[in-house]
Structure 1
Amino acid sequence: MTEPKPLRVGMVGYAFMGAAHSHAWRTAPRFFDLPLAPELAAVAGRNPEGVRAAAAKYGWDSVETDWRALIERDDIDLIDICTPGNTHAEIAIAALEAGKHVLCEKPLANSVAEAERMTAAADAAAGRGVYSMCGFSYRRTPALALAKRMVAAGRLGQIRHVRAQYLQDWLSDADAPLTWRLDKTKSGSGALGDIGAHSIDAAQWITGRNITGVSALMETFVTERPLAGDLVGLGGHGAAGAERGPVTVDDAALFTARFEGTPDDGPASGPIGIFEATRFALGRKNAMRLELNGTLGSVAFDFEDMNTLSVYDAADGPDSGFRKILVTEPEHPYTGNWWPTGHGLGYEHVFTHQAVDLIHAIAENRPPSPSFADALQVQKVLAAIETSAGNNSHWHTL
């Protein structure tokens, strides 16, 4: 049997997402038959000691302290971007122009203008057989992929409602430190872009329809926090004397939405949706929830119970209710490559599935999904939400 050709990966950034992506690249060829063999060629980070420690811990062959060095290397085929959003555009465009495939974490950028430039570069590179993908990893959750399959098969009929929440509580403590995620110049936005973007992408992907208009409300509950790490020295002092700096992003975002319609919708002009994203929901650790209601049934999902999908079939009659499907059968999306029926998967598996899908797309010389164009659509929704919230929740059409 012929050994698959290598796909030599260079990763930029090595923190939370870097750890998840490293695990995915290492694990994918051990559980999936792949047409290309991913190799952890090099990881880049600005801190020499930190990046060397990460390389040793996660299994990377070499290190660089400048991402540009990765792009210049002939032994790198793909650039994996796991850095804050303000760096995405520069790295991705340079990589694509140098002939490197790109996997970029979400949200794609910090502005629509940046995302448009990235999408244009991706489209031009695709014409040369160089591909790019945005890391909306929740698409690779087996239960959500099964929901997508059900909607596409018409099991829910005409979709009427989309209900989405992403609830966390890790910022509820007003003295939690001010990290880059709370600095708009680095992160672009707060709960909206960090976690709300996942809900927007999942809703559009599963329904197969884009959001066309929003009415939004955003709130920052804690406006100053203790400075952390290299931010110390840039802020004022709080009552207790601790040096503090301003929070420049949202803590919570709420919005209603209209999805694009089709001729099959009849008098309705497309499904309606309601979305919530917050990092202040005490007791909720990673409750990424999505529910769709149609004319023939409903599906409901919560990532805190990620191996199950709740399904309601109206044909079962008025005495029926939601039934839970344990999404661990061999015929379910992705699960046949893992454990026996009933043995659940975890958060890390969605990144492995992401790597697997990207590898297959590159090997088959076809654009992967979600594309930068898909991510640009999410970026436009994020921008519309901020515009609406800044205009006292007035309806904003995309």
Structure 2
Amino acid sequence: MVGYAFMGAAHSQGWRTAGHVFDLPMRPTLAAICGRDPAAVRAAADQHGWAATETDWRALIARDDVRVVDICTPGDSHAEIAIAALEAGKHVLCEKPLANSVAEAEAMVRAADAARTRGQLAMVGFNYRRVPAISYARKLIEEGRLGTLRHVRVTYLQDWLVDPAFPLTWRLKREHAGSGALGDLGAHIVDLAQFLTGEPLVGVTALTETFVKERPVLSGATAGLSGTGGSELGAVTVDDATLFTGRLASGALASFEASRMAAGRKNALRLEINGERGSLAFDLERLNELSFHDHTEPAATSGFRRILVTEPEHPYLEAWWPPGHALGYEHTFVHQARDLVEAVATGTDPVPSFADGLQVQRVLAAVEDSAAKNAVYTPVPQPAHSPVPRPSHTPVPQPSETHASGNRA
């Protein structure tokens, strides 16, 4: 794994736990973790169970005991590391958003397509797909329980930037993060809308705003989510919030809001989908629940009902606790690790793919373009065969040589 901060800790939890919960065809082994600060990466390795450390990602991907490279770095390094790892014969998991630009994402898709012919797989880490209630919502939509879809509305609100004295971290610099709330939070809700509906967004109308345009420059070398700001101020070069509407390929309408300036909201992701036959609603703060309304029932007794998504027949839950025993945020990374290990073992395409990540990147670029033109409707470019976020079961060629470490992912 490259990177060891917030996402590094979450991914480590997933890799460390998946083989202890699910009956996997391969057992993940935490071979090596990489970071530029030797002391910090050693501490992360000790805390999270990694066997070795590296301070140069090039040395990491050159290791014979590494088969999967997990990228948890800021977006400006995703493309370089992912492409090099694929060319080195490794499978790749890359955190969202896939890249900082459409051009970088396109290069990553080309590398992934070439690597696939050699048996290497590539997946982008949209972990909220792995919330059992969200996966179950998708199943209900695929079964036609909502009928023709008409409306999708999604919001993702946080408040960690409300204080203007919060320091200028890497997430507030365009050259590192690519965008602000748009890429950090908006990428998730765009992916969820496309994943749940099985349709791409084909056009958007958007507004973005940076409310605090200068923040204290961090003292020392730290550039994480927290730190001590000095008296010097630096420019914030990304958005604090974004608001946009969109149209799906079928004609259904969608609305999105992402903000890191919503006072009182810590990690409030909410969605609702309305169709001709019913509706679904989800709130991440109640992530074991799904609200479902069947509009075909008699009006006198119909209404939204609560589905407690903890039954063994619900997605991912066959290996966890008895019904009614809730799961949490960290379990999405366990499910993500399980899905990638099974894809590697069986030679099937993992989802979401780099092509799915590129589709999200195209939407984000269209949002920025529309906002720059003061909310002008902006089409989202579509490839000849637009990626639809559904599972693929196409086998991929397996490496011709048996790996020296045996049955390990």
Normalising by structure 1, what TM-score? 0.92
Cα deviation, residue 250, structure 1: 0.2
1:257 equivalent to 2:246? Answer: yes
Query: Which residue is equivalent to 1:129?
Result: 119
1:248 equivalent to 2:237? Answer: yes
Give the secondary-structure state (helix, strand or coil) at the position aligned to 1:195. helix
Cα deviation, residue 316, structure 1: 2.0
Give the secondary-structure state (helix, strand or coil) at the position aligned to 1:185. helix
Out of 149, 154, 163, the position equivalent to 2:144 is 154
Cα deviation, residue 241, structure 1: 7.7
Give the secondary-structure state (helix, strand or coil) at the position aligned to 1:318. coil
1:395 equivalent to 2:377? Answer: yes
Cα deviation, residue 87, structure 1: 0.2
User: Quick one: distance in 1 between partners of 2:260 and 2:55?
Assistant: 32
User: Quick one: distance in 2 between partners of 1:277 and 1:302?
Assistant: 15
Query: Which residue is equivalent to 2:108?
Result: 118
The 5 Å alignment of 1:207-222 reads 207-222=197-212
Cα deviation, residue 290, structure 1: 1.1
Deviations 1:314-356 (A, max 9, x none): 1222232111101001110011211111110000000000000
Cα deviation, residue 177, structure 1: 1.3
Give the secondary-structure state (helix, strand or coil) at the position aligned to 2:29. strand
1:205 equivalent to 2:195? Answer: yes
* Aligned AA (2:247): R
- Structure 2: 5+ residue stretches without partners: 223-228, 381-409
User: Quick one: distance in 2 between partners of 1:294 and 1:391?
Assistant: 32
Out of 346, 351, 354, the position equivalent to 1:369 is 351
Query: Which residue is equivalent to 2:19?
Result: 29
Query: Which residue is equivalent to 1:267?
Result: none
Query: Which residue is equivalent to 1:311?
Result: 292
Out of 302, 312, 324, the position equivalent to 2:306 is 324
Deviations 1:200-226 (A, max 9, x none): 001001100000000000000000111
- Structure 1: 5+ residue stretches without partners: 1-10, 233-239, 262-269
User: Quick one: distance in 1 between partners of 2:232 and 2:308?
Assistant: 49
Q: Let me know the Cα RMSD of the aligned residues.
A: 1.1
User: Quick one: distance in 1 between partners of 2:5 and 2:110?
Assistant: 29
Query: Which residue is equivalent to 1:41?
Result: 31
User: Quick one: distance in 2 between partners of 1:228 and 1:118?
Assistant: 32
1:360 equivalent to 2:349? Answer: no
User: Quick one: distance in 1 between partners of 2:233 and 2:298?
Assistant: 58
Contact 2:217–2:230 (CA under 8 A) maintained in structure 1: no
1:385 equivalent to 2:363? Answer: no
User: Quick one: distance in 2 between partners of 1:309 and 1:228?
Assistant: 41
Out of 123, 131, 135, the position equivalent to 1:145 is 135
Deviations 1:366-393 (A, max 9, x none): 1100000000000000000000000010
Identity %: 62
The 5 Å alignment of 1:162-173 reads 162-173=152-163
- The number of residues matched between the two structures is 373
Deviations 1:248-299 (A, max 9, x none): 00000000000002xxxxxxxx111000000111111111111100000000
Query: Which residue is equivalent to 2:281?
Result: 300
User: Quick one: distance in 2 between partners of 1:362 and 1:246?
Assistant: 43
Query: Which residue is equivalent to 1:284?
Result: 265
Query: Which residue is equivalent to 1:343?
Result: 325
* Aligned AA (1:250): D
User: Quick one: distance in 2 between partners of 1:231 and 1:65?
Assistant: 16
Cα deviation, residue 143, structure 1: 0.4
User: Quick one: distance in 1 between partners of 2:326 and 2:166?
Assistant: 33
Deviations 1:106-153 (A, max 9, x none): 000000000000000001101111001000000000000010000000
CA, structure 1 residues 51+231, in 2 after alignment: closer, same or farther (shift >3 Å)? closer
User: Quick one: distance in 1 between partners of 2:319 and 2:298?
Assistant: 36
User: Quick one: distance in 2 between partners of 1:203 and 1:224?
Assistant: 33
CA, structure 1 residues 162+21, in 2 after alignment: closer, same or farther (shift >3 Å)? same
1:193 equivalent to 2:183? Answer: yes
Query: Which residue is equivalent to 1:72?
Result: 62
User: Quick one: distance in 2 between partners of 1:318 and 1:184?
Assistant: 51
CA, structure 1 residues 229+101, in 2 after alignment: closer, same or farther (shift >3 Å)? farther
Give the secondary-structure state (helix, strand or coil) at the position aligned to 1:21. helix
Query: Which residue is equivalent to 1:82?
Result: 72
CA, structure 1 residues 393+231, in 2 after alignment: closer, same or farther (shift >3 Å)? farther
User: Quick one: distance in 2 between partners of 1:241 and 1:307?
Assistant: 42
Deviations 1:60-79 (A, max 9, x none): 00000000001111111010
* Aligned AA (1:243): E
User: Quick one: distance in 2 between partners of 1:339 and 1:276?
Assistant: 34
Give the secondary-structure state (helix, strand or coil) at the position aligned to 2:133. helix
User: Quick one: distance in 2 between partners of 1:372 and 1:208?
Assistant: 16
CA, structure 1 residues 65+289, in 2 after alignment: closer, same or farther (shift >3 Å)? same
Give the secondary-structure state (helix, strand or coil) at the position aligned to 1:12. coil
* Aligned AA (1:179): T
* Aligned AA (1:275): F
Give the secondary-structure state (helix, strand or coil) at the position aligned to 2:359. helix
Cα deviation, residue 171, structure 1: 0.9
